[in-house]
Structure 1
Amino acid sequence: MTVHFPFQNSYAALPASFFARVTPTPVIAPRLIKLNRPLALRLGLDPDLLDSPEGAEILAGKLLPEGADPIAMAYAGHQFGHFVPQLGDGRAILLGEVIDTDGVRRDIQLKGSGPTPFSRRGDGRAALGPVLREYIVSEAMAALGIPTTRSLAAVITGESVMRETPLPGAVLTRVASSHIRVGTFQYFAARGDTEGVRRLADHVIARHYPQAAQADRPYHALLEGVIARQADLVARWLLVGFIHGVMNTDNTSISGETIDYGPCAFMDHYDPATVFSSIDESGRYAYANQPRIALWNLTRFAECLLPLLADEQEHAIAEAQEILAGFSEKFTTAYQAGLRRKIGLFTSRDGDEPLVQDLLDAMAQNQADFTLTFRHLNEAALDPANDTAVRQLFADPTAYDAWAARWRERTAGEPQSADERQAAMRAVNPAFIPRNHRIEAVIEAAMNRDDFAPFEELLTVLSKPYEDQPDFADYAQPPQPDQRVLQTFCGT
């Protein structure tokens, strides 16, 4: 029986200026190393057929499934603040779209499947390490409940790719609500193609923001919707200590999903200035800068929509600025509500914001682990005798003691029981995140020994981030000094 993808393609039906039609470049000896079977079922695909030699060839780009209409999408983007008028999918090819079991349209894209007209002298390939990193982190984000692209499969190609040294080649099959970016709008706006911007906006409204179509001013509603989703998304990033690493406008998804896991990372000890990305030399995309950069990117999106907002530019700018002004409140509301949940507060009262900020400040000053501090607060909420696990994370434990006294005074004013508070905190404070040193160990085992057992085990642990999992307790621990990963890399 042949592998069947129930494609219902819509983006490929847009004008030819939106993409380039291109066929994946065949590889020598594809070998499937990971298939996300639950995701395959959700997409209406047969995992048993995908987990076959024919499936491996499809997932590596060697064989096109029936109904595929492969394209490389055109887009532009601000990269570290500098505008590049043409970027596009340089190593990714969109095979097509399917409607999943929830009725949601999903892109199925091959990443690392060969050069396209947008490759800019690149080879269009991906190395195994970045493919494993994206698979791990995107699936961890999904398990954490954060909007994200997903990973359907990882395939070794049987070929080498040349970076600084020859590396094993691989292809990631990525699934997304769409791959439309702020940079996609910039591509048409930079060319003065207002009709292209309009066609793209109409496509996005129909696909992602259908309620906007019923609004009196649909394009205003589109801008408001994208702003709301990005404000919520970045708040969720900060609440789990995630650092995207390369928040260019071409990596900002219009659908509100986390996309393009290159030099991304999770913090170990809390430091708002944390940067891991080797290419972020100025700290533009540091942990605490992410809300500001999100607004900057959204402002570039609003600029693209100006011709659709009003006939007169001055009027359009004023309306865009009014909508953009709502970002700060939306972000702060989501972020502060999340922080209250993390310390077990069920209500909002004056003084809550400085209470949480004082904890964060003490964590920064004492190099306390971000994830474990909040996780161990779960037990401390149940009984003060459990404070030891939190205290030992602080260089000066008395810094925690002073804060804990204020925290308990605040929680005493709420009617919930200690058990209720602990349960609520456990549901939002993960025990397990994809720590950098764990990811690097997985990559080293796969690349140097063709050993994917650590990869499988890490995925198993990260699939249940809010459970204790005593058999895997070591995965919750921060790195030892000699295990620390100080830089992450893009992989292109």
Structure 2
Amino acid sequence: MFPPFTLRYVRFPDRLRAECQPTPVERPRLVAFNRPLAEELGFDLDVYDPDRATQALAGNVVPEGAEPVALAYAGHQFGNFVPQLGDGRAVLLGEVTDHAGRVRDLQLKGSGRTPFSRGGDGRAPLGPVLREYLVSEAMHALGVPTTRALAAVTTGERVYRRVPEPGAVLTRVAASHLRVGTFQYVAARGDSEGLKLLADETIARHYPHLLGPDGAEREEGERYLALLEAVVERQAQLVARWMGVGFIHGVMNTDNATVSGETLDYGPCAFMDAYDPRSVFSSIDERGRYAYVNQPAIAQWNLARFAETLLELIDDQRERAIERATVALEAFGERYEAARLAVMRSKLGLETAEQGDAALIDELLDAMQAGQADFTLAFRRLADALEGAEGEASLAELFGEREALDAWLPRWRERLGCEEADEAALARRLRAVNPAVIPRNHRVAEAIAAAEEDDFGPFESLLAAITRPFEASAGEVDYTRPPQDDEKVLRTFCGT
């Protein structure tokens, strides 16, 4: 059933990974399987056997051709450097090539202890597995670069965190699991050979254009500087898209910052309800380091740590390497602002660019903050406001204080006059980019609570809704509705 594995990472030196078999579980049960993604990856679903699939996706049986390894990496966790982290509860089965010719990692998360477990049990509770499944698939549907969820399997065992919880294993798909922390791991050990191996693998896998036209290689230093510049650009684009959907990662440590530009690790993540740039949901982010408004600055900080690892590759003269890397890093602010402006322009229905657009965007956000308006619905109902007084009233009812909104709406309508589109076309444009449905914290919590009682109906219903985010909910549950005061979930938790 599984497509052929290529085992690129297994060919790396032993010091970069550890061979490690998944630990079998007692009573595996497949509770979610992403068939469209499986087809995209090249799984042969004509011979799909649920029982065999369950055993493989639980880690009880290693698929033919796979050679499981746990990956080594380091990382800054809340600003503090830890020289060795690594996959403490995950194994990479190997890589497959999908129908589009892209190499993709298949990883089992929650599959038992590894040499990097540092005393942990290597397991994952069901709640975080379902949260990652839901949020990563929602992010994909929203067009945000992300790892994907292929399957979730319950283990029939209990995992002990704050309280005993059902255990589960997630099969995660990624462009790669190469992280800023992977580079920090080799750099901290003075491993120049390992550093060059990682940089060359990153270029070959994610930035092949850096090899130059017709495969003619650039000078090495130029190539690695170009790699830094490319990763800076991808991270700027990624964080701008997070900000555009009100997403808060919650744990932007360097070991969770990918060099591919994908969102990785959905531990204590959340989507905002009422707009507040200082929003923090992660239970472990006590000082708000990773608050919504701080995400761009933290991304740049993480990129600076990445740049530090590349200095010896960029130039033999350290001072010159620092100077060149600094120029690349300082470009992040401009690149992020350009990406953010593009994202937010589209959310206002704007395809052209005018001088005052940034101010128009910020004025709406200020009005939303003053009125405690729901971030997702306020943008969604801009389309309604174009269609008449009733639609404008539906937008205004989101604002507890609407004076700033009333002042903003005429300026927005005047700006729309510069667009070559009528109101109906503008409304369609707005609804195509502003989601009606996101995986709101209270809905995710409801789905997890039901699943922990062996009822996966709410999870399946929510999954169906969030993977069609631009369609208004028409079922029994209104997934567009923000939480009532007694439904709000203000803290999210890691699964470790």
Question: What TM-score results when the alignment is normalised by the length of structure 1?
Answer: 0.98
CA 1:297 to 1:16, structure 2 compared with 1: closer, same or farther past 3 Å? same
Indicate if the aligned counterparts of 1:273 and 1:287 stay in contact, CA closer than 8 A: yes
- Paired residue for 1:253, among 254, 258, 261? 258
| 2:107 maps to amino acid | Q
Equivalent residue letter for 1:484: K
- Specify the alignment match of 1:41 in structure 2: 39
CA-to-partner distance for each residue in 1:218-255, whole Å, 9 max, x for gaps?
10111111111000000000000000000000000111
Measured in 2, the distance between the counterparts of 1:328 and 1:489 equals 30
Of 7, 10, 23, 2:8 maps to: 10
| 2:354 alignment partner in structure 1 | 349
CA–CA distance in structure 1, aligned partners of residues 201 and 410 of structure 2: 54
Name the counterpart of 1:183: 181
- Unpaired runs of 5+ residues, structure 2, are 213-217
Label 1:454 to 1:47 Cα distance change in 2 as closer, same or farther (>3 A). Answer: farther
Matched, 1:323 2:321: no
Q: CA deviation at 1:439?
A: 0.2
Aligned counterpart for 2:455 among listed residues 423, 448, 451: 451
Cross-structure match for 2:315? 310
Larger CA deviation: 128-137 vs 408-417: 408-417
Identity between Structure 1 and Structure 2 (%): 59
Q: CA deviation at 1:472?
A: 5.7
Q: Which amino acid aligns with 2:482?
A: P
Note the alpha carbon deviations across 1:425-481, whole angstroms, 9 max, x for none.
11110000000000000000010x200010100010011101224336610010000
Deviations 1:364-419 (A, max 9, x none): 11100000000000111233542001100001223211110111122123331111
Amino acid at match of 1:454: P
Amino acid at match of 1:71: V
Q: Does 1:295 align with 2:293?
A: no
AA of the residue aligned to 2:315: A
Q: Contact 2:2–2:42 at 8 Å: present in 1 too?
A: no
Match of 1:146 in 2: 144
Distance 1:11 1:313, change over 3 A: same
SS in 1 for 2:494: coil
The aligned residue for residue 262 of structure 1 is 267
Q: Which whole-Å CA distance do the structure 1 matches of 2:48 and 2:445 have between them? A: 28
Contact 1:461–1:472 under 8 Å retained in 2: no
Q: Is the 8 A contact 2:113 2:122 kept in 1?
A: yes
2:25 maps to which of 24, 27, 41: 27
| Residue 233 of structure 1 pairs with residue 238 of structure 2 | yes
Partner SS state of residue 478, structure 2:
helix
1:481 — aligned with what? Answer: 485
Residues 81/297 of structure 1: CA separation in 2 closer, same or farther (3 Å cut): same
Mapped contact 2:97–2:103 kept (Cα < 8 A) = yes
Q: In 2 relative to 1, CA 96–228 (structure 1 residues): closer, same or farther, beyond 3 Å?
A: same
Are 1:337 and 2:336 an aligned pair? no
Is residue 59 from structure 1 mapped to residue 49 from structure 2 by the alignment?
no
Question: Whole-Å Cα distance in 2 between the matches of residues 423 and 473 of structure 1?
Answer: 24
* Equivalent position of 2:229 in the other structure: 224
What letter is aligned with 2:480? A
Distance change >3 Å, CA 171–CA 365, structure 1 → 2: same
Match of 1:206 among 201, 204, 207: 204
For 1:221 and 1:382, locate their aligned partners in 2 and report how far apart those are by CA, in whole Å: 47
For residue 464 of structure 2, give the secondary structure of its aligned residue in structure 1.
helix
* Letter in structure 2 aligned against 1:299: A
Moved over 4 A (4+): 48-51
Secondary structure of the residue aligned to 1:475 is: coil
Aligned partner of 2:215 in structure 1 is: none
Partner amino acid, structure 2, of 1:321 = T
Alpha-carbon distance in structure 2 between the residues aligned to 1:205 and 1:337: 27
Residue 235 and residue 51 in structure 1: after superposition, are their counterparts in 2 closer, same or farther (change >3 A)?
Answer: farther
Distance 1:347 1:413 in 2: 8
Letter in 2 for 1:197: L
SS in 1 for 2:115: coil
CA distance in 2, matches of 1:111, 1:48: 26
Residue 363 of structure 2: aligned partner: 358
Q: What amino acid is the match of 1:75?
A: Y
Q: Deviation of residue 347 (structure 1)?
A: 1.3
Mapping 1:332-481, distance limit 5 Å: 332-447=337-452, 449-471=453-475, 474-481=478-485
Higher alpha-carbon deviation: 209-218 or 357-366: 209-218
Q: For residues 238 and 359 of structure 1, do their structure 2 counterparts lie closer, same or farther at Cα, with a shift above 3 Å needed? A: same
1:371–1:430 Cα contact (<8 Å) kept: yes
Are 2:164 and 1:174 equivalent residues in the alignment?
Answer: no
Secondary structure of 2:233's match? helix
The normalised TM-score by structure 2 is 0.97
Partners in 1 of 2:78 and 2:476 — Cα distance?
39
Aligned to 2:102: 104
CA contact (8 A) 1:126 1:171 kept: yes
Aligned residues: 489
AA aligned to 2:286 is: E
| Pairwise CA RMSD | 1.1
CA displacement 1:282-335 (0-9 Å, x = unmatched): 000000100000000000000000000001100000000011111111110010
- Write the letter of the residue equivalent to 1:141: M
Q: CA deviation at 1:50?
A: 4.7
The one-letter code matched in structure 2 to 1:353 is: A
Q: Retained in 1: the 8 A contact 2:384–2:395?
A: no
Kindly tell me: are residues 468 and 327 of structure 1, through their superposed partners in 2, closer, same or farther at Cα, counting changes over 3 Å? same
Q: Please state how far the C-alpha of 1:164 moved relative to its aligned partner.
A: 2.1
Task: Give the SS at the match of 2:105.
Answer: strand
- Preserved contact between residue 273 and residue 482 of structure 2 (Cα < 8 Å): yes
Q: How far apart in 2 are the matches of 1:196 and 1:175? A: 24
Local SS of the residue matching 1:413: coil
User: Alpha-carbon deviations, 1:323-358, whole Å to 9, x = none?
Assistant: 111111111001011111111122111211111101
Q: Residue 489 of structure 1 aligns to a residue in which SS? A: coil
Letter aligned with residue 42 of structure 1: E
Tell which deviates more after alignment, 395-404 or 77-86.
Answer: 395-404
**More displaced 10-residue stretch of structure 1: 191-200 or 268-277:** 191-200
CA distance in 1, matches of 2:395, 2:163: 43
